[in-house]
Structure 1
């Protein structure tokens, strides 16, 4: 069989792989804070996980008849384009593959049964390869499917069309999306790895202030197919991006005032903010991060800038811990019997050890943030009292969860050391005088699903 094989080099790969997680790295990350070298380690770990999913897809396609011949031939054409793009700019190929919705698509595709269903989902790989090639500055021409009248370019935008396939032709700084053999269509412009566009049917993603984060309210894979959180909320349809842009700016400003290092971490690790449809129950708030798509925060509309600031911090920790656990397993099922379930303060349902660790880690970061927020100058007496009340509640919740974890036999040795370091940080937060603001020298509100 021709075409890519699992033994071949995967475009976007980095031969050296992720760096080693040392005990010092674990101890730093247990404090819910990332130094610059730790951020690089986590991003490399995320990329390694994405390549593993991509290699799993290649392996799946090696087993005939996973998909009909024409679907396999299209996949090979798209793969060659990805290799062509990598020859131009490998880093931009890697950035495209690492975009959160690509992880969701890969997981969704790997779960599809062989045959036409897998072939249909496999068609989106062409849009992934085309996006990488656009960002890498490669010249190419490709026909891309637009199922349901939508062609999504991950992290870039979406074309609504009555034509399928759509012809994408890229040459120099410009590209055009048009019916095959047709004229006109939407125009895309590319410069320094960024792609913008305008014209019939084209909608681009809004880039939020202060970093590389986008408001992703277009990509069909921006949320899991079954919805987010225990209420299975769907992604919200596109509306005016202004309110979300204002929410983001206000939340980021609060984080920078209360904890500049925390704000830096959020903008370094997040790639997109995904609005969820409001829950049916008034006042119900949902946020989520998914293990296959770290770097995306899914959330219902916030009622205040502080609420969104806390969601950003909370969900960033879930993504960090998911990647870290893939690099160094922190817990494992017991060799005999079923995994234990435990009650925690922030969920109504009993949680396995992995869920307890995820929740404790995210809430430890919130406790750290709330300690600092309670010390901000200029707070009214009422606001300071509320901040202290929320701080104390969070500290108590984390302390109880850490006791559960320290008594668990399901932690690995690395997980045990990680939880002990979390406990030390919690003790530092409760000392008179407040938290230790030094994060050390670095090497060069829902649980994660």
Structure 2
């Protein structure tokens, strides 16, 4: 089965348990007749698979483990905790992030319940098309960041996408529906911009120059800066829409704080992007839209205390980065 996040391809709908099928150098044959698949190998008893009625496969063979669905419907979204190559990322491992192990039935149900509760928020904020358009086909559970505290909405979490695995989002267990919806908005905008830039070059930057990005402690290439601005501005828009919606006071407080932070972060690096001579004509069209959205959001500002905290956060990040990278 092709890996969901290890190379380009369709996320795996099933996987064999470790054992004979996973042995190094072992060849496996798959034969199909009348809607039934038979998986066999040299010296290995065959396993018979039948459609499960939801786009996957089931088997009575204990060696076979299906990949469960996060959501069934016109587009089946997988919750992949089985593919051994689902999260091949050396950079993530350096930061202590790994694919989560096999989910228990209870953990799978918590993911599904959070997903169901997140869909109304995606609809409310105008982001439901991100899912309905087929940008998402697979969610890969990841471990939480080292030292992340467990608390309510807004708890620290990890997430990511891979350019070579369009449709797959890697994410640690969300603390609540609003956080899961925000994660999807963030990561699917990364995926969308990656797809656009594959079709239409947005810049010509190829030098080793690195830039300050308020959302990262490390120096970023120009492409990473543009990607981050695009995804964080989408987050700022999402959180502003949540804050303006009829939600409870706790969620509104989180939404205004997150909106202000993301908006200030993007505003801090828009001049760098706008002043670049490395943008193509398509890149300038994109950047003009980002500037326009950033300006429109200022028309409905959060309470002043949120902006003050966000400005202080961004300035602290700037000073910390300068101390680390301008010696």
Q: Which TM class, normalised by the smaller chain length?
A: 0.7 to 0.9
1:243-258 → structure 2 map (5 Å cutoff) = 243-256=110-123, 258=124
Q: Secondary structure at the match of 1:187?
A: strand
Q: How far 1:424 moved relative to its partner?
A: 0.8
Task: Tell me, in whole angstroms, the C-alpha distance in 1 between the residues paired with 2:187 and 2:114.
Answer: 16
**1:179/1:366 CA distance change after superposition, 3 Å:** same
1:48-447 → structure 2 map (5 Å cutoff) = 101=3, 104-105=6-7, 154-160=11-17, 161-163=19-21, 164-180=26-42, 185-189=47-51, 194-200=55-61, 201-209=63-71, 211-226=75-90, 228=92, 231-240=95-104, 241-256=108-123, 258-259=124-125, 261-267=126-132, 268-283=134-149, 284-333=156-205, 338-380=207-249, 382-432=250-300
Answer yes or no: is the 8 Å Cα contact 1:229–1:286 preserved in 2: no
Instruction: Number of aligned residue pairs: give it.
Output: 284
Task: Tell me, in whole angstroms, the C-alpha distance in 1 between the residues paired with 2:210 and 2:109.
Answer: 42
Answer yes or no: is the 8 Å Cα contact 1:226–1:232 preserved in 2: no
**1:233/1:344 CA distance change after superposition, 3 Å:** same
* TM-score, normalising length: structure 1: 0.58
Q: Secondary structure at the match of 1:236?
A: coil
Task: Tell me, in whole angstroms, the C-alpha distance in 1 between the residues paired with 2:213 and 2:7.
Answer: 32
Larger RCO (CA within 8 A; separation ≥ 6): 1
Task: Tell me, in whole angstroms, the C-alpha distance in 1 between the residues paired with 2:43 and 2:296.
Answer: 66
**1:400/1:305 CA distance change after superposition, 3 Å:** same
* TM-score, normalising length: structure 2: 0.77
Q: How far 1:359 moved relative to its partner?
A: 0.6
> RMSD between aligned alpha carbons?
2.7
Task: Tell me, in whole angstroms, the C-alpha distance in 2 between the residues paired with 1:227 and 1:178.
Answer: 36
5+ residue gaps in structure 1? 1-95, 107-127, 133-153, 435-449
